[in-house]
Structure 1
Amino acid sequence: MFDVYITKAAKYLPNEAVSNDEMENYLGLINDTASKARRIILRNNKITSRYYAVDKEGKSTHSNAELTRNAVVQLFDEKFSDQDLEVLSCGTSSPDVFAPSHAAMVHGLLKNKSVELNSSTGICCSGMNALKYGFLSVRSGNSKNAICTGSEKVSTWLSAQKYNHEIINLKNLEAQPIIAFKKDFLRWMLSDGAGAFLLENKPSGDISLKIEWMESYSYAFELETCMYAGGDKLENGEIKPWSDYKPDEWLNESVFAVKQDVKLLDEFILPKGVESMSEAMAKHNVTAEEVDYFLPHVSSNFFVEGLKNGLNEKGIVITDEKWFMNLLRVGNVGSASIYIALEELMYSGKLKKGDRILLSVPESGRFSFAYAYLTVC
């Protein structure tokens, strides 16, 4: 078994930062009416700026694969070129196409050489799952290096035109032409971007982060779906997939829209997060005192105090100065968020050798959680 180090990190955030007041200039107005939920949601999540890979006409400036490629190529230099790469492991919840895989599409843009590919799907944990694949590949000796990524391109999923047919259908049925909160909610939560890590079996450069361990937990065996796209939720909690709908229903019911069961989110995301993090730390005999920087991916600042309180009740008291977050400035970039946050910390000048970093990533899809523990070398 070999030690594994994150030797370089990179991020790519498209275009200029978009303020709260500018969001509907990019995403558009549904039914030519400003969202009544937008200000309430933004007041709770406290995000002040984010990035979109679209212009004000709603036209794409980058694909998801291009965002990812633009992060990956920053990892190449005279010491490690694109010809040295052995494994490319990519995670996303918003691939450009169902098939081929996201990793294959990114590799197609790199045009370097034949490499081993892995694509991780899901929601926020897909980026951590991609990282774990690279970690295990290098750790086992299967490869000497791997590049792992997390990326999202959700702006086009959230554009007003994606909901227009549903609004027209509601008007035809003489119903109130307002989309459900479970759909409108996420329009003001998500943003675009990509992050990438280079993993190697020895440290390199001025700073490297040794991956001590990674752990993942799923509660899908006991909890129903909370966040989903490409289907809709039935009264019994089951998901009816897009392939079981008629083509006109795809548009009339916005079947491909990203949706969130907010009640389930509020009930389970924090308790299951505290439970899984407590188990992961206990398994590896890590205490709160042995964490110098805590990087929690949270979808909204609304959950921060609740997470602190829940951890405190479990005896995991991580003091405020150890928390490192950039959510308010870069937005919720899903699977890329943890990459973008760690890249910022890695090159902040704050880290010193021996510092220990705990990464925490929840996923509300069907409640999954992923953790990583790093040591600065």
Structure 2
Amino acid sequence: MPEVYITRTSSFLPNDLISNEEMEDYLGYVNGAKSRSKAIVLRNNKIKGRYYAITKDGVATHTNSEMVSLAIKRLFERNPEEIKEVDLLSCGTSTPDQMMPSHAVMVHGWLPEMDSIEVVSPSGVCCSGMHALKYAYMAIKIGDKKKAITTGSERLSRVLRSEQFEDEVKHLVELEQNPIVAFQKDFLRWMLSDGAATFLLEDQPSEDGTSLRIEWIDGISYANQEEACMYMASEKKEDGTLKSYMDYAPEDIMHESVLTIKQDTRLLDKNIVALGFNHLIKILKEKNQDVNEVDYFLPHLSSFFFEDKIADILESNGMGIPKEKWFTNLDKKGNVGAGSIYLMVDELIQSGKLKKGQKILLAVPESSRFSYVFCYLTVC
């Protein structure tokens, strides 16, 4: 079987960097009041900047699929005609612009200069970008494709706007009577960011730049034993199951902010690190992989709150990775969900720090129902 290489990367971040102080100018004030959870969440996640594909009035400046297409165009700035050689487009996101058509075909629609090719849209949350990568990796590995584009992206700022919560604040006194409900619905407003990034995959390394050979990609889901933690277009019932937006009356969808993104923070803290990183330890042992050979560890962090927790669990299992080998851009670019790992890899390559033979370990946890994908790369 051929080897598979990431031969080029690119990214697109909309508009200007937005500081913590400016966030509510863009996201708005729920019921006219400043958020009571914002300062707490920002203190824990340590994010200092992020990007939104909206104006301060909440008007969209870019769609999700448009941002991806702009990132893809940057892959071919030196040779625009090369885009016609691509034979697979694989795009992952949590936040497609619509339920139908699929996200990847909408991206394809922004690229009339591309040929008619196979297009696939893995669904999911943070891991969807890695599932897109694995599909493209396998397609090249078996010799079915020669040149593939794989992407991760998000556009959540519109659903984080205050008007998405206004009707609920007016109708549900529960938000005042039970502060944890308010926190769970407000929590993610201060975590998430918009953007897109892409990889070009080929069966040969680049002749004039840094390439990353994909050694393996390994994923796992714990949905068979854990209930949903992060969810959208649904509400969580007392028994832990989800009630779909399709089962609500239209007026209740707004009254209960069913379409907003929510997270059960109690489940998050209990499971997100333990489940995924115990599995990573198992993978490394099965593959007889010496963690000391890792030169760069790129964990997708939703918050720096989890950084020490991950370090502790690796250390306690004799697989500690020194902090000087960790690489993240969460503080500068925010949590871009499915796009975060792509943005990290792109920034690391552009930094010029990589040397041939170095090893890179990627780790992407997804809290929606506790899924994880890990990937091991060699610099070529």
Asked if 1 retains the 8 angstrom alpha-carbon contact of 2:300 and 2:365, the reply is yes
Q: Residue 226 of structure 1: which of 229, 235, 250 is its match?
A: 229
Q: Which amino acid aligns with 2:200?
A: L
What's the CA shift for 1:349? 1.1
Q: Which amino acid aligns with 2:269?
A: D
Equivalent in the alignment of 1:53? 53
Asked if 2 retains the 8 angstrom alpha-carbon contact of 1:170 and 1:176, the reply is no
Q: Which amino acid aligns with 1:139?
A: K
What's the CA shift for 1:290? 1.5
Counterparts of 2:287 and 2:141 in 1: how far apart (Å)?
Answer: 17
Equivalent in the alignment of 2:91? 90
Q: Which amino acid aligns with 1:315?
A: G
Counterparts of 2:120 and 2:288 in 1: how far apart (Å)?
Answer: 31
Counterparts of 1:21 and 1:142 in 2: how far apart (Å)?
Answer: 49
Map 1:146-157 onto structure 2 (within 5 A): 146-157=148-159
Q: Which amino acid aligns with 1:108?
A: G
Asked if 2 retains the 8 angstrom alpha-carbon contact of 1:228 and 1:259, the reply is yes
Equivalent in the alignment of 1:209? 212
What's the CA shift for 1:80? 6.4
| Identity %, equivalent residues | 49
Asked if 1 retains the 8 angstrom alpha-carbon contact of 2:37 and 2:187, the reply is yes
Equivalent in the alignment of 2:100? 99
Asked if 2 retains the 8 angstrom alpha-carbon contact of 1:167 and 1:177, the reply is no
Aligned residues: 376
Q: Residue 256 of structure 2: which of 253, 257, 260 is its match?
A: 253
Counterparts of 1:17 and 1:80 in 2: how far apart (Å)?
Answer: 32
**Normalising to structure 2: TM-score of the pair?**
0.97
1:133 aligned onto 2:135:
yes
Asked if 1 retains the 8 angstrom alpha-carbon contact of 2:365 and 2:373, the reply is yes
Q: Which amino acid aligns with 2:353?
A: K
Counterparts of 2:47 and 2:10 in 1: how far apart (Å)?
Answer: 22
What's the CA shift for 1:4? 0.3
More deviation in 72-81 or 14-23? 72-81
Equivalent in the alignment of 2:20? 20
Q: Which amino acid aligns with 2:357?
A: G
Counterparts of 1:283 and 1:217 in 2: how far apart (Å)?
Answer: 15
**3-state DSSP of counterpart to 1:3:** coil
1:353 aligned onto 2:356:
yes
What's the CA shift for 1:79? 8.1
What's the CA shift for 1:177? 11
Equivalent in the alignment of 1:367? 370
Equivalent in the alignment of 1:344? 347
Equivalent in the alignment of 2:3? 3
**3-state DSSP of counterpart to 1:83:** helix
Equivalent in the alignment of 2:191? 189
What's the CA shift for 1:341? 0.4
Write the deviation string for residues 111-164 of structure 1: whole angstroms up to 9, x where unpaired: 122010110111100000000011001111110011000000000010001111
Equivalent in the alignment of 1:160? 162
More deviation in 160-169 or 87-96? 160-169
Counterparts of 1:247 and 1:8 in 2: how far apart (Å)?
Answer: 45
> Structure 2 vs 1, CA of residues 79 and 170 (structure 1 numbering), >3 Å: closer, same or farther?
closer
**3-state DSSP of counterpart to 2:92:** strand
**3-state DSSP of counterpart to 1:129:** helix
**Normalising to structure 1: TM-score of the pair?**
0.97
Asked if 2 retains the 8 angstrom alpha-carbon contact of 1:31 and 1:177, the reply is no
Asked if 1 retains the 8 angstrom alpha-carbon contact of 2:192 and 2:334, the reply is yes
Q: Which amino acid aligns with 1:131?
A: L
Equivalent in the alignment of 1:312? 315
Q: Residue 144 of structure 1: which of 143, 146, 149 is its match?
A: 146
**3-state DSSP of counterpart to 1:81:** helix
Contiguous gaps of at least 5 residues in structure 2: none
Q: Residue 243 of structure 1: which of 246, 251, 254 is its match?
A: 246
Map 1:69-88 onto structure 2 (within 5 A): 69-76=69-76, 77-78=78-79, 81-88=82-89
Contiguous gaps of at least 5 residues in structure 1: none
Counterparts of 1:352 and 1:302 in 2: how far apart (Å)?
Answer: 30
Counterparts of 1:207 and 1:4 in 2: how far apart (Å)?
Answer: 14
Counterparts of 1:80 and 1:371 in 2: how far apart (Å)?
Answer: 33
Map 1:100-119 onto structure 2 (within 5 A): 100-111=101-112, 112-119=114-121
> Structure 2 vs 1, CA of residues 371 and 256 (structure 1 numbering), >3 Å: closer, same or farther?
same
Write the deviation string for residues 288-318 of structure 1: whole angstroms up to 9, x where unpaired: 1111100000100000001100110111111
Q: Which amino acid aligns with 2:27?
A: L
Q: Which amino acid aligns with 2:213?
A: K
